[in-house]
Amino acid sequence: MADKSYNHAKIEKKWQNKWEADQLYRSIIDESRPKFYALTMLPYPSGDLHIGHWYAMTPSDARARFMRMKGYNVLFPMGFDAFGLPAENAAIKRGIHPKNWTYRNIDRMREQLKSMGAMFDWEREAISSDPEYYHWSQWFFTQLYKHGMAYRKMSPVDWCPNCNTTLAREQVWGEDRHCERCGTPVIKKDLDQWFFTTTKYADELLNFSHVDWPERVKTLQTNWIGRSEGASVIFKTVPPSPLGRGDGGEGHDIEIFTTRPDTLWGATFMVFSPEHPLVDVITAPDKKAEVEAYKEQAARQSDIEREATDKEKTGVFTGGYAINPVNNERIPIWIADYVLMSYGTGAIMAVPAHDERDFEFARKFELPIVPVIQAEGAEEANGENMEAAYIGPGQMINSGPFNGTPVNDEKGHKNPSISAVIDWLEEKGIGKGSVNYRLRDWLISRQRYWGAPIPMIYCTQHGWNPVPDDQLPVMLPEDVEWKPTGESPLKLHPTWKNTTCPVCGEPATRETDTMDTFMCSSWYHLRYLSPHYDKGPFDEAEYNYWMPVDIYTGGIEHATMHLIYTRFFHKALRDMGVTEGPEPMTQLRNQGMVLGEDHEKMSKSRGNVIAPDELVRMYGADTVRAYLMFFARWDMGGPWNSHGIEGSVRWVRRVWALFTDPVEKKPSGSAETLKVLRRKVHQTLKAVTRDFEQFEFNTIISSLMELMNEMYRAREAGAVGSDEWAEAQNIYLRMMAPVTPHIAEELWTEHLGKPYSIHQQPWPQVDETAAREDSIEIPVQVNGKLRDKVVVPADAGEEEIKSAALATAGAQRYMEGKPPRKIIVVPKKLVNIVV
Ligand SMILES: [Zn+2]
Ligand SMILES: [Zn+2]
């Protein structure tokens, strides 16, 4: 016998168990149905599922359920991005092995995830720290290496000189960039590390024609890749003083990249990044101390701080000079932290007259300013009294053979001045047209324990070679000292690193660094396809059926790194014949953020964290899901409101009451009552269908609330027992099912006695005729001001609407007896009478 009171705890547990026992959400290849791969970003096993996870996942689940009801064979998997630093930190702090900490958290979070009542197919769960998973992360590494897409080079890392260890980005804290453990200011140190050639794909990554992704993400990626056209030009060093001191500073090539080769004649000094390798060579003996001190302070700042435009410019003169190749002028070389080694070549020509940063720098250090572009109609440019850099169009001046060449606002060859100068540089052999990217190759090496070991072997005879396929996975040993010691923990293991060279069989050493965890998460959507498959990273049949991902949902914070890496990964694999198609994820949508009740970002220290487990205990998962879909636009997010959730609590209870209260089953409602009910049902269905398609979740809930009110009215008016009432109930529960899966199932099977499961029912069809309004209300304007409203038949023609509008009291009064000059009818929207 069905229970009359709404006991969410009982209902939710009951259905979760039954769905699991029946494998209701098992997704199996079915060629007879169209597939739909819905992917939501997998969590890191921090140990606690927070409200942000619920906000990302439950609306994504509702939409996946909607697609399933629409007839798609939907795959909606879940897993854990389980390698990474927090596990090591927790282990250090609490003395638990990172593996135990991670897997204990996964067990807990899996239970929390199950409490959502989502349609995750747990048979497809993938955990990136499982050997059966990282086996293939390692295999991908060796494949990339074999295809020339992985290489080794020296690169700086953040280093704590006190702890004597490299630090991950997250371990460098505060504006002064200190070590999270001991507070010592962090410095940069060069280490030999592995990279992937992401930059090879820079141009292809800028092409978004195959994806339906938010504009914001596309813009962030475009800026991150930072393609710019210009020229590379060779300057040469000269000794620091006319007397020369035999310091060898003469004749070194300095390659620079500039987007404005047409301003070369205005380059009055050069600025090197403090890390530029030539700095030590060109620095004059009397400048050494000052240069060294500056280098040290620059090394302690982050790139973001160094590039900040509002920052006071600093720098020091090296005592060295270069020759500007276009006019043979001898110009001084400075170092400044705003020039990064990681952008371009680490050296720039400074054109203070036409670059704001260079202008500020020149004014501060009293360096010459020579204008080389004259603005149209402006007074003759003069470096002495310029108040700001001029970056507009005009014509070239002070530029030898190019004087008078027009300059427009275009970039690259589209600008006649740039185009002419590039041709000339190439002819003279001092430069060439080139393209520069902000995007760097992907640094893979981490000097960490809790990650996938990089499967490379070093032999003194044969250098680096990949671990042969039949020796994969390279298992991560459990008996290590993972505490901070200043080295990669695997290096300190007594035996692990000893192996044999795959070429000669002689003793050799393993790479002791582990992989960036972004490598593991670049292909997890592929591992879900066949998480236990052992003949390859995935089963091809599964790939051919399910890929690409049809909808990917997750946070905007992943716009650049993860979402660029995963696109790169797909394209690189495609070129190796492993994957197919241009992109891994066709459509992307981002949710906003749930803030605390104080409108601030939730954090333990602020004490404004909302714990979903507690809410589920109090109200049930269905209500939490409904509120998360209702309280804000999903893509915007907003502050949590603990009073607000009462609205969802009330809605769920009133729906329960509507379906379970005993009412006599003899219809007495008028034909009009039934017609109005049916119209509302189909109008709601139409709106809800559209909103699901467009990720407009908040209006889905408000539409369902309105329809419920209409059903209460119809019940009062005697609709119960009619066909219209039965249809309303039927459609209502099916619309509700994706949002509140448990209560919908309970009411469907136990109270309406319909066949289990509601989640296997088709999405209802809109009856357009029933949904049509009999009459509609249209605003009436006179000269663009709202003066009245008019009710007309929904299918009224233009003439009918015009005469009805003219007859309104508001129109009569404000037309003041004048004849209408023009009447504009916007069908179904408004009438504007112009007098
Ligand atoms: Zn330290
Ligand atoms: Zn060898």
Going from the Cα of 503 to the center of ligand 2, the distance in angstroms, rounded, reads 5
Going from the Cα of 516 to the center of ligand 1, the distance in angstroms, rounded, reads 21
φ and ψ at residue 640, rounded to 5 degrees: -65, 150
Q: Which ligand is nearest to the CA of 183?
A: 1
Going from the Cα of 171 to the center of ligand 1, the distance in angstroms, rounded, reads 9
Going from the Cα of 159 to the center of ligand 1, the distance in angstroms, rounded, reads 8
| Highest mean pLDDT of the ranges 185-189, 380-384, 537-541 | 537-541
Query: Strand 35-40 to strand 73-75: parallel, antiparallel, or no bridges (unpaired)?
Result: parallel
Read off the amino acid at residue 483.
K
C-beta neighbour count of 209 within 10 angstroms = 6
pLDDT at 566 over 70: yes
* pLDDT for 244: 47
Q: Report the run of H or E that residue 179 belongs to, with start and end.
A: strand 178-179
pLDDT at 248 over 80: no
Rounded distance between C-alpha atoms, residue 818 and residue 835, angstroms: 6
Going from the Cα of 535 to the center of ligand 2, the distance in angstroms, rounded, reads 28
State pTM to two decimals: 0.86
pLDDT tens column, 98-109 = 999 999 999 999
* pLDDT for 665: 67
CA nearest to 568, candidates 154, 252, 140: 140
Rounded distance between C-alpha atoms, residue 88 and residue 95, angstroms: 10
CB 635 within 8 A of CB 215: no
Going from the Cα of 444 to the center of ligand 2, the distance in angstroms, rounded, reads 24
Q: For tokens 């409203």, what's the residue? A: 789
Q: How far is CA 54 from CA 112, 114, 158, 665, 741, in A?
A: 10, 11, 35, 40, 15
Collect all residues with Cβ–Cβ distance below 8 Å to 21 and sequence separation of at least 6: none
Q: Which ligand is nearest to the CA of 177?
A: 1
* pLDDT for 156: 81
pLDDT tens column, 308-331 = 767 788 999 999 999 999 999 999
Q: Which ligand is nearest to the CA of 458?
A: 2
Q: Which ligand is nearest to the CA of 499?
A: 2
The tokens for 496 are 């692990």
Going from the Cα of 440 to the center of ligand 1, the distance in angstroms, rounded, reads 28
Rounded distance between C-alpha atoms, residue 614 and residue 621, angstroms: 10
Going from the Cα of 508 to the center of ligand 2, the distance in angstroms, rounded, reads 7
CB 635 within 8 A of CB 660: no
List of E strands, 252-345: 253-258, 269-272, 316-324, 329-335
Q: Which ligand is nearest to the CA of 507?
A: 2
Rounded distance between C-alpha atoms, residue 439 and residue 478, angstroms: 36
Q: 510 pairs with which residues across the strands?
A: 457
Helices (H), 129-214: 131-146, 202-205
Torsion of CA 356, 359, 360, 361, to 10 degrees: 120
Q: Which ligand is nearest to the CA of 460?
A: 2
Q: 395 pairs with which residues across the strands?
A: 374, 406
Going from the Cα of 682 to the center of ligand 1, the distance in angstroms, rounded, reads 65
Residue 337 DSSP label: T
CB 341 within 8 A of CB 153: no
CA nearest to 61, candidates 521, 590, 553: 553
Going from the Cα of 465 to the center of ligand 2, the distance in angstroms, rounded, reads 9
Q: 831 pairs with which residues across the strands?
A: 780, 825
pLDDT tens column, 125-169 = 999 999 999 999 999 999 999 999 999 998 888 888 887 777 766
Q: Which ligand is nearest to the CA of 184?
A: 1
Going from the Cα of 446 to the center of ligand 2, the distance in angstroms, rounded, reads 25
Q: 823 pairs with which residues across the strands?
A: 833
The tokens for 795 are 């299918």
Q: Which ligand is nearest to the CA of 506?
A: 2
Q: Report the run of H or E that residue 390 belongs to, with start and end.
A: none
Going from the Cα of 512 to the center of ligand 1, the distance in angstroms, rounded, reads 21
Q: Would you call 190 helix, strand, or coil by DSSP?
A: strand
Q: Which ligand is nearest to the CA of 462?
A: 2
CA nearest to 355, candidates 369, 344, 342: 369
Going from the Cα of 457 to the center of ligand 2, the distance in angstroms, rounded, reads 9
Q: Report the run of H or E that residue 595 belongs to, with start and end.
A: strand 593-595
φ and ψ at residue 584, rounded to 5 degrees: -80, -30
CB 163 within 8 A of CB 499: no
Q: Which ligand is nearest to the CA of 163?
A: 1
Start-to-end Cα distance in the chain: 70
Going from the Cα of 506 to the center of ligand 2, the distance in angstroms, rounded, reads 6
pLDDT at 306 over 90: no
CB 377 within 8 A of CB 392: no
Q: Would you call 805 helix, strand, or coil by DSSP?
A: helix
* pLDDT for 535: 97
Rounded distance between C-alpha atoms, residue 335 and residue 275, angstroms: 9
* pLDDT for 246: 43
pLDDT band of 1, cuts 50, 70, 90: very low
Q: Which ligand is nearest to the CA of 501?
A: 2
Q: Which ligand is nearest to the CA of 459?
A: 2
Q: Ligand 1 is a single-atom ion; what residues have CB below 5 A from it?
A: 160, 162-163, 179, 181-182, 184
Tell me the chain's radius of gyration from C-alpha atoms.
34
